[in-house]
Amino acid sequence: METFGADWLAMREPVDHRSRAEGLIPPLVQAWQTRGWSRVLDLGSGTGSNLRYLAPRLPSGQTWVLVDHDPEHVRTLRGLARTERVRSVMVSHRDLAAQDLDEVADADLVTASALLDLTSEGWLKRVVTACVASECGVLCALSYDGRIEWSTGDEHPDDRFVRNAVNVHQTGDKGFGPALGPAGARLAERRFQAAGYRTILQESVWRLAASQHRPIVERLIDGWEQAASAVRPEETVRVRRWAAGKRARVATGRFSLTVGHQDLLALPRVRP
C-alpha cells in the first residue's frame, strides 16, 4: 500500500479539518442517536486525524477501532489518549488491501479520510457488501476529485496538461489494484445507492493561499511534478518547466490554489 509520512499528514491535517463538509454532521448525528450507535471503525487511520475531527462532533460513549498498515503510524495511534467522548481506542496493524474486512461486522459507523480515491473497484465492492450486511453507516471524507485550479493570474499554459497527467497517475495501483482515482467518491455513492442506502455527497475543497499555505503548496507541486513525469516521461522537461514556474509564483507569496475533494455520507434506510 502507498505510504504517507507523518510530516505530510501533520501538514495537511489543519487544511483537511477546515475543508470538510460540516453539512454531513447533522444527519450523521441524527442516525447515530436514532440507532443507538457507539462503535466507529476508521480505515487507513494514519496518525488519527479522522478521530480528532469526528470524535468531538459525535455524542459521548464512542468506541473506536483504528486500522493502518504503517508501523510508525500504528505506534502513534497507540499513544492516543481517551477523551471525554471516547470511551476506548483500539488499534489494528494490518494491510487493508490484503485481508478481509472482518471488523466491519462489529461497527456501527465505518469511516475513512483521504483513502477512497486510492482504493480499487474490487475493494469498494467488498466494503459495500460488508457494510450492507452489518447495516452500518459510512463516512468517506476528502476523496480527491480531479480538480486542480489556480486563480486568475496564477495560471500556466501547461496547467491542464499536468493536471490530466496527475489524474491518470491517480488511477494507478496504490496497493489495492487499479485505483478509483478522481471518480472514487461518485462511484461509491452509486454503489451504496444501488444497495439501498441514502447518500449525501458534498464538496470538501482545499482552498490554499499564500498567507498560510506556502509549505503545503510546495509539497503538492513536488508531488504533481513526480506524478506527471512518471505518466509522461517523454515530457519530463516540459513538466519540470511547469513546476519551476509554479515554484517561482509561490515564492512571490501571491497565489491561490483550489484542490477538489468530496465527502460522502451513506446511511442505511430505516426499516418500516
Query: Which carries the bigger pLDDT value, residue 194 or residue 272?
Result: 194
* Average model confidence (pLDDT) across the chain: 94
Q: What local confidence, expressed as pLDDT, does residue 244 receive?
A: 97
Whole-number Å distance between alpha carbons of 228 and 28: 38
Question: Domain boundaries in the chain?
Answer: 6-267
Q: What is the pLDDT of residues 81-122, one digit of tens each?
A: 777 899 999 999 988 887 678 899 999 999 999 999 999 999
Q: What is the pLDDT of residues 157-181, one digit of tens each?
A: 999 999 999 999 999 999 999 999 9
Whole-number Å distance between alpha carbons of 248 and 250: 5
Whole-number Å distance between alpha carbons of 158 and 162: 6
| % of the chain surpassing 70 pLDDT | 97
Query: Phi/psi of residue 199, each to 5°?
Result: -125, 150
pLDDT of residue 1 exceeding 70, the answer is: no
Q: What is the pLDDT of residues 202-257, one digit of tens each?
A: 999 999 987 789 999 999 999 999 999 999 999 999 999 999 999 999 998 888 99
Residue reference for cell 477523551: 83
Q: What local confidence, expressed as pLDDT, does residue 98 receive?
A: 75
Whole-number Å distance between alpha carbons of 154 and 148: 12
Q: What local confidence, expressed as pLDDT, does residue 254 receive?
A: 83
* pTM greater than the 0.85 cutoff: yes
Q: What local confidence, expressed as pLDDT, does residue 194 receive?
A: 98
For β-strands 62-68 and 86-93, DSSP reports them as parallel
Torsion angle defined by CA atoms of residues 251, 256, 257 and 258, in that order, rounded to the nearest 10 degrees: 160
* 6-267 CATH fold: Rossmann fold (3.40.50)
Q: What is the SS3 assignment for 162?
A: helix
Q: What local confidence, expressed as pLDDT, does residue 127 receive?
A: 96
Whole-number Å distance between alpha carbons of 208 and 174: 26
